[in-house]
Amino acid sequence: MRAALDKFFDHWWAQDAVFVLILAVLATLLRLGFRNETWRRAGGRFRRDKVGIAALIVACIYLVIGALETIQLPDSSGGRHSVLQAMTSGIPKERRYSKPLATHTLSATNPEPLVGPSKHLLGTTETGEDTLILALRAFRTALIIGGLTSVLYIIVGTLLGILSGFFRGWVDDTVQYLYTVVASVPEILLLVAIIIVFGKSLPTMCLALSMTSWIGLCRLIRGETLRISERQFIMAARSLGQSRWKIVMRHILPNVMHLVLISFVVGFSGLVRAEAILSYLGVGSPVGTPSWGAMIDGARNEMSRDPFVWWNITAATAALLGLVLALNLLGDALRRAFDPKRS
């Protein structure tokens, strides 16, 4: 299975397909949600939330930059490169470290003039790569890890939660037993074990994170489904002879989609943090894959060298903090918009 996933991701169009899939899931969430009057009222409240709008704009900027690194274009040599690489192809690569806006490499004995002294706004890495470009390229890894994993666990968590809460009986018992068993294993140990067994790769990491992330959403959807199932409009639908699956698709699913949307936004930030933690532990993104976790991990040795190299860890931390903060603020704004006490 791992070999098949790795082979799929080796195709140039695979990353584009992942990006399209993420957008399709978001569009589906919004389409299903806005069939509900509650969503339309929440949309009006959200548009008046300045903090939520600002967080949404920042999140969209991250999404656009990640898309620029994800979408592949052909080049003159017959290979392919991302749109972001094409846009930054004019920025030269140096031979070693350089400070932000420096004119020479960072060397106490033999500093060398830079090829592009005014272009490295955040300095360069040990191999001479521009730190700003490397941090921007890591947006793609965050997009794939957060987006693809969210798609996987949302499908599983929503489906099992609705089945458990609506059909009850042995279905409910089976689902509860399943997530109790998975939740009984410490999450970080389970993640590390899965990645070590199947090997380090982005598809493996997405599968590992999705296996531990669906539990919270499943419990949430199950509880909400139990509550909705007792409402009068569900009883009326049953008395009119509507089938169970029709009730689920027309009445249950639209009324839990706001929880799915909030879980998608907040869970996305948690998955990005998880990738950074796993990369710091050495079991995260594969070697050579730009990621904020790998940059932070590589900066451990830079913190103790002389002269002190601070810009690589600062760039990665700032980029990670910006995305996590924006998504958390956006999630809080969505909660406020959907708060029934404000209806």
Locate the DSSP E strands across 170-308: none
Looking at per-residue pLDDT, the higher value among 326 and 79 belongs to 326
pLDDT band at 343 (very low <50, low <70, confident <90, very high): very low
Task: Report CA torsion sign: 201, 330, 164, 223.
Answer: positive
Cis peptide before 307 (omega within 30 of 0): yes
pLDDT digits (tens, 9 = 90+) for 182-240: 888 888 888 888 888 877 777 788 888 888 888 888 898 988 888 888 888 888 878 88
In contact, 208 and 145? CB cutoff 8 Å: no
Amino acid of residue 40: R
Which of the residue ranges 115-119, 144-148, 163-167, 170-174 would you say has the lowest mean pLDDT?
A: 115-119
Q: What is the set of domains in the chain, with CATH numbers?
A: 2-102+115-342 (1.10.3720.10)
| 29-58 pLDDT tens trace | 677 666 667 777 887 888 888 998 999 999
Number of other CB atoms surrounding residue 326 within 10 Å: 21
Residue carrying structure tokens 């890495």: 125
